[in-house]
Chains A and B, each alone.
Chain A
Amino acid sequence: MQAIGQEQTVAFLVDSTCEVFEKMVLRKLTQGIPIEGDALRPRSNVVATVSFAGAESGIVAFYSTRDAACEIAGALLGMDPAEVNGDMPDAIGEVSNMIAGALRTKMTDAGTPCAISIPTVTVGSDFYTKYVSDVRRVLCPFKMGDQEIFVELIRQKQ
């Protein structure tokens, strides 16, 4: 087993996210510049997290507004975004599961095997997420048309 550098892991995460959106959501994403640190997280109504553990441990988090989440769910399910409603959390859970799964495959192929958890999706308007362990965080912004989405890599410090 070998450790993968932070930069490489972030690159894997960005590639995984773009791959999922191009193949499944049929949307091309424009990447922004990753932001490292504990700065305030983006205003989001939908947060999905998937944990990974093995040679390395951490979390992949997906953030979006409700409108963006409904657009994504609508594209996945072949529905008008306005009609998505109760299907949105499951769809976003599946998106985060696929992003984390693709990242897991890349990390495993690079010599850092790990397993992933089932996704957790939180929907609301007045909450924040906090990670108790000593972690290193990198937030990756993307544009999906005129919407913004974010994917974050939270790695437990060794």
Chain B
Amino acid sequence: MRRIIINTLNKLGHTEVVEAANGREGLDRLAAGPVDVIITDWNMPEMSGIEFIRSFRGNDKLPQVPVLMVTTNAAKDDIVEALRAGVTNYVVKPFTPDTMREKIESVLAG
């Protein structure tokens, strides 16, 4: 899914993309330098998307930026859990490039 999202971001003109294979690597990348938006999947190896967001939001040393969660799971309870954990907004798979663009613009607009 990571490569698919990167392809979509490239199509939208976002060519400066920092990749991480899992949540732990994501936290390391964030410690190395700020980003404008974080896009994370729900299911990931080693550290789930929810666990990653809770760790990220709970770490004052990391610059707090908007988080978009990508998921196949449109169940209300799970979306509520994600929003409570600190997700700014979510994108349900499958999504069009236009939907991804709208979601990114909405979280950047605050």
Contact = CB atoms under 8 A, between A and B. Distances in A.
For chain A, which range describes its interface: under 10, 10 to 19, 20 to 34, or 35 or more residues?
20 to 34
Interface of A: 19-20, 23-24, 76-78, 87, 90-91, 94, 97-98, 100-102, 104-105, 108, 116, 118
Given A76-B4, A77-B7, A78-B7, A118 B94 contact: no
B7 A24 contact: no
Contacts of B21: none
Interface of A, secondary structure class, is: helix
A78 B73 contact: no
B43 A108 contact: no
A20 B92 CA distance: 11
Nearest to B3: A77
Interface in B56-95: 72-75, 92-95
Interface residues of B, number: 17
B4 to A, nearest CB: 5
B75 A108 contact: yes
Interface core residue of A101, A102, A108 (most chain B CB under 10 Å): A101
Given A19-B94, A77-B7, A91-B4, A97 B75 contact: no
B72 A102 contact: yes
A23 B73 CA distance: 17
A88 B61 CA distance: 39
Given A77-B4, A77-B7, A97 B72 contact: yes
Interface core residue of B10, B92, B99 (most chain A CB under 10 Å): B92
A90 B1 CA distance: 8
B43 A98 contact: no
A105 B7 contact: no
Interface core residue of A90, A100, A118 (most chain B CB under 10 Å): A90
